[in-house]
A and B are shown apart, each in its own frame.
Chain A
């Protein structure tokens, strides 16, 4: 029964939509690449039949919109056929981006939790800091990214740290907001119970507030890790970085290597999906070890 439900409500619709997207993609690839191909044919003085022409539009080296199989081929070549140490390998570039994402995410989560603990315990901090935390997110940090990186490069801090700082800035916010909510989620009744036990503030914090905040923490960590990845990618743009997914995007844009751009995008997407999946798995493990039952 459950299997049938899954097939009807999940598998069938999702596959249909994915297929529809692929068909649309091919259609657009043909339409968008047609003018250039026609131009090429006219110059080379060849006339080709319709099927042959369509085949050519899907095999251009620098198409306006690469066909899915071209992107897939590029991803496959750059992932599996190159040694992972080569700087053209997507594995290598993804690793570079992943490392600054991970450092930034770790710092961001830590900072977010610290801010949340401060806000929950100090009234003055709650009233003075909270509005600025929200305002800080309306600052387009990605606009400051080139600034941060160039300035840090001027004091000889280059490489991982500046990119990680941008990731930190992007990821601390969801964690801080989620943790404040989580640390405040215990009901008044439970807090009162702690008071009747004559529990100290530290005991209330560790035994009631922290466990109550765990689900909130993981939810916001899922958002934060995706944001960290965006920060790391954008952090690679302004320095003309030589490695990383952002650098691949920029290089592809300079040399109009559209297939490379799309391959880098696919790599970034896979990375994002994998990171979110890892956080979800950790969340499930922690939830189970804390005695949560599968819903």
Chain B
């Protein structure tokens, strides 16, 4: 049997399929719009055939494609059938979802073994694999909430959250402007810049460095977020107080990292600069700041998430009538849970984009550093 290659995910998926057939129908009798026989058979066939084909020794790409179509086709059929029949799913429905999920797992495993030759293919694969994983979190979330009829208040299905996002773009946009464009960005820029300047100063004056570093290390472990109520009292309810919280939260990571980075240039290189009779500023600009760049970008990345957290939490302590933290705390009080989740989704996307921009900048400016040049660690 050389042409056959068994995988435990595929076998288990087949078994689950058989169990699902034994427990048909998919929905309870009083469902409003039950699955038609054709759809049920099609779903079962998709899973079973995909699992069966994956056992044959095909090329990895072909096998992955079959698994991909089988898993996601079945999931799509099941999810579109459950909409409108919330809470009516029976065990057989969940068994089929589990079988489809196993196929998707197998698909990811197969995809992980592919080593494409072209950089574009490699890049696409590095996006595709996590995308499948993320999609399945959403699929299982949707299937569980709709299938088991979990109350909307507890956990709304992703579909409903998506609909809410599409329906309230203007509100979300004003919140993003208030929180991200005013509080986060301004605070981030001031905090990082001042941390950087103080780090340069501390580097020049050894006394300052010996005094500031232990304090900086201590402060970066402290719950600085606690200053939020004080800042709100000092700077008022508008974005200035949030920006102040962000400044305080981002200052110390930048200080500590930059000072560490400025010490990173090797003695050999420094001696070389000295033999060239270069001045302090020349050594700083041409040798030590470039050498510190990875550390500085590390701080910028840490700060990008800290800034968002600081601004949102500061809004819990009082804010004008917009902002993401404000919306979250008021909508949860009115039990508009889908709006809260919509806000969370927007915050997640904004945070990822922010982080992504810093990461791309890092790639562009420190392309020479081993951690980026080498690629894999």
Contact = CB atoms under 8 A, between A and B. Distances in A.
A141 B126 CA distance: 26
28 contacts: A13-B207, A13-B210, A64-B234, A128-B130, A132-B134, A138-B305, A140-B305, A140-B312, A142-B312, A142-B313, A143-B313, A146-B316, A226-B220, A230-B223, A230-B225, A234-B225, A237-B316, A238-B316, A246-B226, A249-B226, A249-B228, A250-B229, A253-B232, A262-B230, A269-B223, A273-B218, A273-B221, A273-B222
Interface in A155-185: 155, 181, 184
Contacts of A137: 305
B352 interface: yes
A242 interface: no
Given A132-B130, A272-B223, A123 B112 contact: yes
Given A146-B329, A154-B153, A229 B223 contact: yes
Nearest to B155: A151
B260 to A, nearest CB: 14
Given A138-B308, A265-B227, 17 more contacts: A13-B207, A14-B211, A16-B207, A128-B108, A129-B130, A135-B352, A138-B305, A141-B309, A146-B328, A147-B337, A230-B223, A233-B225, A234-B225, A253-B229, A261-B226, A265-B230, A269-B223
Contacts of A139: 344, 347-348, 351
Contact of A140 (B230, B340, B347): B347
A138 B132 CA distance: 19
Contacts of B55: none
Contacts of A250: 229, 317
Contacts of B234: 32, 64-65
Contacts of A65: 234
A237 B313 contact: yes
Interface in A19-76: 32, 64-65
A131 interface: yes
Q: Which 6 A-B pairs have the closest CB atoms?
A: A13-B211, A253-B229, A138-B351, A17-B211, A13-B210, A128-B133
Given A123-B113, A140-B312, A253-B233, A233 B210 contact: no
Interface residues of A, number: 63
Nearest to A133: B130
* Chain A interface, DSSP helix/strand/loop, else mixed: helix
B141 interface: no
A30 B30 CA distance: 74
B252 to A, nearest CB: 12
B212 interface: yes
B108 A124 contact: yes
Interface of B: 105, 108-109, 111-113, 126, 129-130, 132-134, 137, 153-155, 207-212, 214-215, 218, 220-223, 225-230, 232-234, 304-305, 308-309, 312-313, 316-318, 324-325, 328-329, 332, 337, 340-341, 343-344, 347-348, 351-352, 354-355, 377
Contacts of B207: 13, 16
A84 interface: no
B221 A222 contact: yes
A280 B354 CA distance: 33
B343 A143 contact: yes
Nearest to A16: B211
Contacts of B355: 134, 138
A10 B105 contact: no
A278 to B, nearest CB: 12
A143 B232 CA distance: 18
Contact of A252 (B108, B220, B229): B229
A144 interface: yes
A127 interface: yes
B263 to A, nearest CB: 14
B223 A268 contact: yes
B309 A140 contact: yes
Interface in A209-266: 222, 226, 229-230, 233-234, 237-238, 245-246, 249-250, 252-253, 256, 258, 261-262, 264-265
A222 B113 CA distance: 36
Nearest to A252: B229
Contacts of A237: 313, 316
A276 interface: yes
Nearest to A151: B154
